[in-house]
Amino acid sequence: MIQANRRTLTSLAYGQIAPKRDAALSECLRTLYSGLAEIAERMRPDAIAIEDIFFGKNVRSLIKQGQVRGAAILAGSQKGIPIFEYSPLEIKKAVVGYGLAQKDQVQMMVKAILHLSDRPQADAADALAAAICHAHFRKVTPV
């Protein structure tokens, strides 16, 4: 989660919601939903920015990604928080300046933009990058 002021972006919190290893998909989705709903209740963000699904070769992983996104969208929307989607290209371009940037480049730029002491873990960096993208673009029509 970030806070956007006129000229600065500040990290308020970040991390990862990790289900138990080898947990069933239903348990993973419940863990994700519960964690995000609790964070939404406690932190009360103005908006949630998520990465839009992108085309991939592995259909199974795209289906799972859609299910995970659905849990995230539900968690935020049930708290009345508008949800905004950005393509991976938009996110990488907003953070790195190059839409085909690699994960480590995104991590380094997120660290620099938010003045973090360490590089965030890859998934946390992706989430922070989506938030940074939203702070730059501020789409007006939620999903």
pLDDT at residue 88 is higher than 70: yes
Question: What was the pLDDT predicted at 143?
Answer: 62
Q: pLDDT at residue 105 above 70?
A: yes
Residue 54 has pLDDT above 80, yes or no: no
Query: Residue 139 pLDDT more than 90?
Result: no
pLDDT at 6: 80
- Categorize the per-residue pLDDT at 7 as very low, low, confident or very high, splitting at 50, 70 and 90: confident
Q: What is the CATH number of domain 24-137?
A: 3.30.420.10
Name the band, by pLDDT with cuts 50, 70 and 90, for residue 2. very high
What does the chain look like in DSSP terms, one character per residue? -EEE-SS-EEE-------PPTT--HHHHHHHHHHHHHHHHHHH--S-EEEEPP---S-HHHHHHHHHHHHHHHHHHHTTT--EEEE-HHHHHHHHTS-TT--HHHHHHHHHHHTT-SSPPPHHHHHHHHHHHHHHHH--SS--
